Structure 1
Amino acid sequence: MATERVPFDGLPRAAITGVESHAGEIVRIETVSHGFNSEIAARVFTPDSAFFVKGLRADHRRVWTQHREAEVNPYLRGVAPALLWKVEAAGWVLLGFEALEGRHADYSPGSADLPKVGDLLCRLGEVPCPDIDLRRAEQRLESYVAKPADVEYFEGESLIHTDLNNENVLVDQRAHLVDWAWASRGAAWLDAAHWVVWLMAAGRHEPWSAETWAGRVPAWGTAAPEAIEAFALATANLWEEIAGADPDPWTAVLLNASRRWAEHRKAL
């Protein structure tokens, strides 16, 4: 469920002052409508710079995601926009990132963005997993697998993003991955697998086409067929839970895509 958006200029004055102590005098604000995890999401402009600011109240139940992003960001050079500062003031936690000029990735078949996203996942695969506290993929999926032993397929020591929503990928000359709230530790092939679901949902790919793109990521080749089937089924079960009895249109698209992929894998 999306977090209700708060306008940047609705922040307490002390929080805005905290941002300006790093960014400089703010002369213009553009609210960003995309994204689900932040109460504050805005591009703020000073006379000579621009920044992307996201934030949550300090007592928000998911404020830990802000701290997680701040902790993991230094390890993501060349993969994600750089975090420039963190402000904790007046009951808010705010992160200031370099503002990229890219647009959200187009996942449709034939899109020129697809090779760039594949290259992005290859670059991510070369990033060592930092020695910080990260949720483990097998923990996140253990409630959704068909058999308890299936979680072993998801174990690993790689840094994974886990949310390959096309709105989390910004593209210009190359692609960058934003919103690291759900960063985890797990098997190296899992982000390519997450991409399959989003290629089918956001790009309307057939399962074989989505898997062909995932196959451009070297780590995909390390996954046994039974591991991919276990993940596809767990993902479908996850979206079944999220969707409930009356899913909204966006969730219904993800649910349908995950079901179709699970059926495809079972039929192989």
Structure 2
Amino acid sequence: MSTTRIPYENLPPAALAAIEATTGPIASTEATSEGWNSAVAAKLHTATGTYFVKALPSDHRRVWTQQREADVAPYVRFLAPALTAHTVTSGWHILIFEALPGHHADYRPGSADLPKVADLIRRIGELPAPPIELRDATQRLAAYVTHDDDLQHFAGNTLLHTDWNPSNLIIGDDTRIVDWGWATRGAPWLDTAYWTIWLIAAGHTPASAEQHAAQIPSWQTTSTAGLNAFAAANTRLWTEISGDRPDPWTKHIMTAAQDWYEFRLRQSTDA
């Protein structure tokens, strides 16, 4: 569920002053459509450059996601926008990032962005989990597996992003991924599997999505049982998120997860 948005200018004066201490005087602001887990999400245009600011009330139940982003930032240089400042003031938790030029990723079949995203997933998959507090993939998926033994497939010590919504990808001179609030520790192939669901949602068949996934080396480290367990768990997860009256966007992702799971079941039966 998204967080209620407020305009950047509605932050307390002390919070605005703290931000300008980093950015310098702000010439104009631009509300963004991304970052719906934040109460404030805006681009700040200054004489020296452009910044992206995210803010949540310090007592918000999801403020830990912003703290996680701040903690992860030093370990994902060259994979994510640089964190310029992190401050807590006047009851607000504030992150200021460099604003990167580029466009959000296009996952549709035939898109020139697909190899760039695959390369980014490969690069992230080579990173060990940093020595910070992270959620564990086995913990996050525990409520959605059929058998507890399925969780062994998700265990590992690789840093995972886990949210491959194309709006989190910025394609420019390089490919970067934002919004590390759900960074997780787990098996190296899991980010590729999360991406597979988004590929199906973008119009790929499950078979085509898996062909793209298979180009990423970590995909080869899993097993049929692991993929089946993951597909089943995410079908249950998105069904839970959707509830009885899902909005069109959530229903679309839920359907993609279900399509992949049914494909995996057919593959296993045919084998």
* Same topology, TM > 0.5: yes
Q: Distance in 1 between matches of 2:72 and 2:190?
A: 18
Report the Cα offset of residue 5 of structure 1.
1.2
Alignment partner, residue 166 of structure 2:
166
Alignment partner, residue 34 of structure 1:
34
AA of the residue aligned to 2:213? A
Q: Distance in 2 between matches of 1:192 and 1:54?
A: 27
The answer (yes or no) to whether the contact 2:54–2:94 under 8 Å persists in 1 is yes
AA of the residue aligned to 1:76? V
Alignment partner, residue 190 of structure 1:
190
AA of the residue aligned to 1:97? F
Report the Cα offset of residue 204 of structure 1.
1.1
Alignment partner, residue 151 of structure 2:
151
| Structure 1, 119-128 or 184-193: larger mean CA deviation | 119-128
AA of the residue aligned to 1:177? I
Report the Cα offset of residue 35 of structure 1.
2.8
Q: Distance in 2 between matches of 1:266 and 1:138?
A: 22
Q: Distance in 1 between matches of 2:87 and 2:45?
A: 17
Please tell me whether residue 226 in structure 1 is matched to residue 225 in structure 2.
yes
AA of the residue aligned to 1:4? T
AA of the residue aligned to 1:208? A
Report the Cα offset of residue 128 of structure 1.
2.5
AA of the residue aligned to 2:246? P
Q: Distance in 1 between matches of 2:243 and 2:50?
A: 40
Please tell me whether residue 132 in structure 1 is matched to residue 109 in structure 2.
no
Runs of 5+ consecutive residues of structure 2 not aligned to the other structure: none
Please tell me whether residue 85 in structure 1 is matched to residue 76 in structure 2.
no
Show CA shifts across 1:104-153 (max 9, x none).
Answer: 10000000000000011111122222111101000000000111110111
| Structure 1, 173-182 or 187-196: larger mean CA deviation | 173-182
Q: Distance in 1 between matches of 2:225 and 2:56?
A: 39
Alignment partner, residue 236 of structure 2:
237
Show CA shifts across 1:183-229 (max 9, x none).
Answer: 0000000000000001111x111001111111111101101111000
Q: Distance in 2 between matches of 1:210 and 1:36?
A: 27
Q: Distance in 2 between matches of 1:47 and 1:266?
A: 56
SS at match of 1:132: coil
The answer (yes or no) to whether the contact 2:155–2:186 under 8 Å persists in 1 is yes
Alignment partner, residue 76 of structure 2:
76
Runs of 5+ consecutive residues of structure 1 not aligned to the other structure: none
SS at match of 1:27: strand
Report the Cα offset of residue 26 of structure 1.
1.1
Q: Distance in 2 between matches of 1:187 and 1:242?
A: 24
Alignment partner, residue 6 of structure 2:
6
The answer (yes or no) to whether the contact 2:126–2:158 under 8 Å persists in 1 is no
Q: Distance in 1 between matches of 2:153 and 2:125?
A: 18
Alignment partner, residue 199 of structure 2:
199
Alignment partner, residue 47 of structure 2:
47
Q: Distance in 1 between matches of 2:220 and 2:164?
A: 19
Q: Distance in 2 between matches of 1:133 and 1:83?
A: 18
**How high is the sequence identity, in percent, across the aligned residues?**
49
Q: Distance in 1 between matches of 2:36 and 2:151?
A: 27
Q: Distance in 2 between matches of 1:196 and 1:217?
A: 11
Q: How does 1:103-142 map to 2 (within 5 A)?
A: 103-142=103-142
Q: Distance in 2 between matches of 1:214 and 1:174?
A: 20
Report the Cα offset of residue 46 of structure 1.
1.4
AA of the residue aligned to 2:32? V
Q: Distance in 2 between matches of 1:64 and 1:36?
A: 15
TM-score (norm 2): 0.97
